[in-house]
Amino acid sequence: MRARVAWWIYAIAAAALGLVVVGNWVWAVTVRAPVLYGEGSVAHAAILARDSLEYTAAAHYGDVVPIFTAANYPPLYFHLAGLGDPFEVGRIISILATLFVAGAIAFRARPAGPLVAGAIALAWLGSIPVMQWGLAVKPDPLALALTVGATLVLARARPLPAVAGVLIGLAVMAKPTALLPGIALFAYVAGRDPVGAARGVGGGLVAVTIAALLVHFPSGSYYLHVIDWNSLPWRADLAAPLFLIALLVLAVPTTTVVIARAGGGAVSAYLVGAIGVLLLGGREGATVNYFLDLSAALALAAATVAPRLALGAPYPLTSLAQLALGVILLNPFPTTPSLLAPTGKWADPLYVGYVRDYVPGTVLAEDSGLLVANGREPIVDDLFLWSRNHATGKSFLEGPRLLAAVRAGLFDAVVSEVDLARIDTGPGYARQRWHPDLVAAVLERYELPPRRVFGLCPAYIWCRQLYVYVRR
């Protein structure tokens, strides 16, 4: 009886948190605005993809010539999100993909009964990487859903490697890191059924080829955007805090899987691949999305031993404590304080209206989504990626072109989320987005007038503000 009471408490708390999460996701769809940094460049690429221009850096917008268009993902998600307003359609795609994964976790845990299966799935929805990224206008949730689907069809009593291959191929066409779980899954299949593994690889190649023919076949510009500009350095000092956060918010399922020796088969193979994705998290710009796969793989592994977990109270009680800790430390909601969520905290959609009404003309914005959401073309749609490529010292035309444009006063305003004059004391992610050369160019040609800081933060531990610089 004690175990059942614990599971009921856990299920009710997880359901309540799940309702809060999904409610905030629905709200984010209705505001049609960016909430996470980087969504602007993806939405911009989705709009360009309607005319197959996502990798055409020389595309013109009327009389405006772009300087840097990131489009640093494969084309599948761009073309799907571009079927409508990317901040609406793209977000709905991500939410549906995330809900599919939650359903897959519940399906995997169904032998333990609806109470336990539902609690485990709802708790996954309330885990930090999912809470922050499950709605993102990014390809991560779509790639995650396709990879989980591939895992499930390989975990069947009668596996379907060709179907799994198709799903992994599509996942890679959404986000290249899906290749790591794909390799792990087909290495597992090859050890049991080499012919089946060959069918799976064949299915993946067919899916990639057909998808490429339908959306955008790889070319020199594709290589530039998706591979060359994405080849950012891996650093141990960036990997360490990400690994620590992953351990912090996934400690209970990780411990459970190790002690119970949970998973097995395709699920364990997926877990190996997911660890590989996490190890890539030392690259510049990586955040909690690098352990989305790990969270799903651990939840699937826990679900395989759900009947055993249902017999005791430790799992639901410790998981409940971990959920509470995650909400306190890292919840992304702009109306709820959190202690450690500077990059994961959602932006206030009021910023979109402020930029629309009070920042006219040609704008260089740290978050290009503020422009895209208003139907304005960004000259640079990803300052982070521009800054990191400039920092590598590689020769790319877009580097000096942006610096020259700023020094010439091409922009009517520069919109930052940090005081550029004090960026050295700002958070690390801000310094990654604003290369010192760009900061110097902005401060040389632009100034921050009085009362040009938008956003008050009396109720938050972390929040965002906008600093609007105008020509001197």
Higher model confidence: residue 197 or residue 63? 197
Q: How far apart are CA 368 and CA 350, in angstroms?
A: 15
Does residue 282 have a pLDDT over 50? yes
Higher model confidence: residue 342 or residue 384? 384
* DSSP H or E run through 466: strand 466-471
Does residue 39 have a pLDDT over 90? yes
% of the chain at pLDDT higher than 70: 95
Does residue 61 have a pLDDT over 60? no
Amino acid identity, position 2: R
Confidence band of 59 (pLDDT split at 50, 70, 90): low
Does residue 459 have a pLDDT over 70? no
Does residue 461 have a pLDDT over 50? no
Average the pLDDT over 409-438 and give the result.
Answer: 92
Does residue 456 have a pLDDT over 60? no
Contact in structure between 448 and 468 (CB atoms under 8 Å): yes
Contact in structure between 34 and 87 (CB atoms under 8 Å): yes
Amino acid identity, position 331: N
Torsion of the alpha carbons at 412, 87, 98 and 432, rounded to the nearest 10 = -10
Does residue 458 have a pLDDT over 70? no
**Through-space distance between the first and last CA atoms of the chain, rounded to whole angstroms:** 72
Does residue 158 have a pLDDT over 60? yes
Q: What is the mean pLDDT of the chain?
A: 91
Q: In this predicted model, what pLDDT tens digit does every residue of 211-234 receive, in sequence order? A: 999 998 888 888 999 999 998 888
CA dist 249 to 97, 112, 320, Å?
Answer: 22, 24, 11
Average the pLDDT over 81-88 and give the result.
Answer: 96
Q: What is the reported pLDDT for 387?
A: 95
Q: How far apart are CA 180 and CA 36, in angstroms?
A: 25
Does residue 62 have a pLDDT over 70? no
Contact in structure between 345 and 332 (CB atoms under 8 Å): yes
Choose among 11, 41, 5: nearest CA to 371.
41
Pairing status of strand 446-447 against strand 413-416: unpaired
Choose among 72, 88, 92: nearest CA to 31.
88
Pairing status of strand 413-416 against strand 466-471: antiparallel
Average the pLDDT over 261-283 and give the result.
Answer: 91
% of the chain at pLDDT higher than 90: 72
User: Phi/psi of residue 364, each to 5°?
Assistant: -100, 110
Alpha helices in 359-435 (DSSP H): 369-372, 383-391, 398-407, 428-433
- Per-range mean pLDDT, top range of 161-165, 310-314, 328-332: 161-165
Confidence band of 23 (pLDDT split at 50, 70, 90): very high
Average the pLDDT over 421-434 and give the result.
Answer: 89
Does residue 342 have a pLDDT over 70? no
